[in-house]
């Protein structure tokens, strides 16, 4: 919401990567996406507000503090679980 800007062209033209096949030859997976936040929004709210007291995202959109508290996160992890229950990490990133 506050970092890593992308142009609409970049978002709409993301390259398709190769099909994922794990070391057991599986191509069908359950996808598990997890997001976390380690931000104390109540203590750090002023850090997210602009000079008018609004919460302005990098896109220019103005949101409420309730929306920030509900939707803000600073860590994402994407894992797949194959047909045999084996879990493999695909992507992990701390955003802040």
- By CB neighbour count within 10 A (0-12 exposed, 13-18 middle, 19+ buried), where does 72 fall? buried
14 lies in some domain: yes
Tokens found for residue 32: 């598990």
Q: Do the domain assignments include residue 65?
A: yes
User: Which domain, by its residues, includes 76?
Assistant: 8-94
1 within some domain: no
Q: What is the pLDDT of residue 12?
A: 79
62 C-beta neighbours (distance < 10 Å), count: 12
Q: Which helix (H) or strand (E) holds 81?
A: strand 75-82
Is 2 within the bounds of a domain?
no
Beta bridge pairs of residue 35: 76
In a domain, 23, yes or no: yes
For the chain, 96 residues long, the average pLDDT of each consecutive 10-residue run is: 73 69 81 90 86 86 88 90 88 84
State the total domains in the chain.
1
Residue 3 belongs to a domain: no
Q: Which residues pair with 94 in a beta bridge?
A: 75
């Amino acid at each position: 919401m506050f970092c890593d800007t992308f142009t609409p062209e970049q978002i709409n033209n993301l390259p398709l990567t190769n099909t994922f096949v794990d070391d057991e030859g599986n191509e069908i997976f359950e996808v598990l996406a997890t997001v976390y936040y380690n931000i104390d929004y109540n203590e750090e709210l002023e850090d997210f507000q602009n000079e008018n007291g609004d919460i302005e995202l990098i896109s220019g959109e103005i949101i409420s503090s309730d929306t920030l508290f509900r939707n803000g996160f600073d860590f994402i992890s994407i894992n797949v679980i194959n047909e045999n229950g084996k879990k493999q990490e695909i992507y992990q990133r701390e955003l802040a």
